[in-house]
Structure 1
């Protein structure tokens, strides 16, 4: 995220005082990390090996790789153990902006701007390379113990949204016992467990309260994104 700096407040007499010692701001004259979202399902035969892609991406610097398990294939006989309806809703929100006719798996969405089937690693790499030369100078994301602040910056057309995503960075192995993928062991990484919309952002500095989680092992990510499935303009892992 670039060099992190402490925030300072100017007092009378030209004295500068450090404030918010638990807070850091990563000014991103450098670009934000590339966000790669995999939409997948344990019950989808084409998705069994999709987790290998996320495992590879998770090991690369300046990439935030996320696995969203969707529930619309559950009717095939296997109830995906990580799926939530809101994850499928997030994928559907991308349909119109990305010009996709219908949801499918395994799908990769890069920075909310472009998508490709996850079965084509070369196409995924090309989208990531293109994204690394994308938007510069995104708004700062400033983290304190219980709050998250987004700095000023150009807002997307139609306004922006701030999202909090919490995922499990550990490898997850699931033995599928029913349905199309019966007998397969599906291995997943960076499985999203919580997807929370913190609120709207319209280009002016704004602070949001961070909700607590009962699972301290989860890793948190904040995204600033165009509304209704728009492009991601800033991202940061929260420490």
Structure 2
């Protein structure tokens, strides 16, 4: 599919939220920058499945010490080709357009990767090196994230972030992503294909501005019956609202009893 014109040293790996009541997940960022890896994708895009697989197996391609936070953000502007992507949200297309503007792009497209807020066109061969380069940077923000699911199927997210006072455009974002999703596509460019997805963003919260170099937020997300509680992960990241640079990111670490 072609372009569409459009106006910490610690690796936080396995990241499922708890399946049982009374358990929770917690993560703290390290001294170096974890790489936020955003993939803008669509089930209606015939060139997207290879990129989806690349994101799904990202951890397998990285060094054991690497720190990456992958997210798949599905966009809906290809729904007109015959298949409506059930994971697409308008806000993801809006975010992609904002990142494209920050990167001085003339168009958005799928699949499109951004790492730490920077566009990566040669993702097939360079993602590993780009993640390593981001990991080498001292972190410009620190994040603490706690996630817990109640018996009433409500996910509570408690997050705190700090950054130097001169990072006056820093904002915090929270996301909930789901793994192990499968779609049998019945129309459009991927007709008759079975697509498998990991790290699919299901909920998106923010931005929450850092005031005086800090912010603390608590948000609750009601989990629909169709979401797989044991395959969810919580994500937090701090981004410069002016430049688009991601200053730090993390996922919930492996949960006790999960």
TM-score normalised by the shorter chain: which range applies?
0.7 to 0.9
Report the Cα distance in structure 1 between the residues aligned to 2:249 and 2:166, rounded to whole angstroms: 14
1:208 is the counterpart of 2:240: no
1:36 is the counterpart of 2:40: no
Change (3 A) 1:185 1:138: same
Residue equivalent to 1:186: 195
Using the TM superposition, name which of 69-78 and 30-39 deviates more.
30-39
1:150 is the counterpart of 2:161: yes
Report the Cα distance in structure 2 between the residues aligned to 1:80 and 1:23, rounded to whole angstroms: 30
Unaligned runs of 5+ in 2: 1-7, 11-23, 148-156, 254-258
Report if aligned partners of 1:173, 1:185 keep a CA contact under 8 Å in 2: yes
Report the Cα distance in structure 2 between the residues aligned to 1:27 and 1:52, rounded to whole angstroms: 26
Change (3 A) 1:58 1:154: farther
Report if aligned partners of 2:139, 2:247 keep a CA contact under 8 Å in 1: no
**TM-score scaled by structure 2?**
0.74
Report the Cα distance in structure 1 between the residues aligned to 2:146 and 2:187, rounded to whole angstroms: 45
Q: What do residues 51-91 of structure 1 show as CA deviations (whole Å, max 9, x unaligned)?
A: 21012214444111111111000000100121111111111
The structure having more radius of gyration, on CA atoms, is 1
Report the Cα distance in structure 1 between the residues aligned to 2:128 and 2:9, rounded to whole angstroms: 23
Query: 1:228: how far off?
Result: 5.7
Unaligned runs of 5+ in 1: 4-21
In angstroms, what is the RMSD of aligned CA positions? 2.5
Q: What do residues 150-197 of structure 1 show as CA deviations (whole Å, max 9, x unaligned)?
A: 12425546x121100110132x22111111221222222111111110
1:230 is the counterpart of 2:240: no
How many residues of Structure 1 are paired with residues of Structure 2 in the alignment?
215
Report the Cα distance in structure 2 between the residues aligned to 1:149 and 1:98, rounded to whole angstroms: 28
Which of 1 and 2 has higher RCO (CA within 8 Å, sep 6+)?
A: 2
